[in-house]
Amino acid sequence: MSELEQKAVEILDKLEAITVNYAPDVADAALAAVQVSAVSEITARATFAAIVAICWFILLGFRKRVIGKINEGERGLEEHLFFWTAAAGSLLFVLSVMALFELSDVWTWVSLFNPELGLAHKVTGL
């Protein structure tokens, strides 16, 4: 065996020893990272959904106030009420659907409760 082959064998033996010693710790760290990532995604998506819900309440409060002013006799508010309610309502409807779809991502929930399967999904790229 040549000197170069001998060095390659030594390096491979050292790599094998490192892999055997540290593989369980690396695997545990990867699983924990997958769970933390899932919690982070769910938290961000739930925050987005909460912001959309708050905006719905603000829109409904705005609409109620404007209708109260219209009933009191103020003129010219009907067009503003229709425009702003339709525009904001349409936008909030789209954002609500997005929030529901984001929260219903199956792989995020799988990664949270079964990190091994979530890691396999991320590694395989399916």
Query: What's the pLDDT band for 126 if we cut at 50, 70, 90?
Result: low
Terminal Cα-to-Cα distance of the chain (whole angstroms): 44
Determine the pLDDT at residue 16: 66
Q: Give the separation between CA 70 and CA 73, rounded to whole angstroms.
A: 5
Query: What's the pLDDT band for 18 if we cut at 50, 70, 90?
Result: low
Q: Give the separation between CA 51 and CA 43, rounded to whole angstroms.
A: 12
Query: What's the pLDDT band for 30 if we cut at 50, 70, 90?
Result: confident
Single pTM value for the model: 0.70
Residue 30 CB neighbour total at 10 angstroms: 14
Determine the pLDDT at residue 58: 93
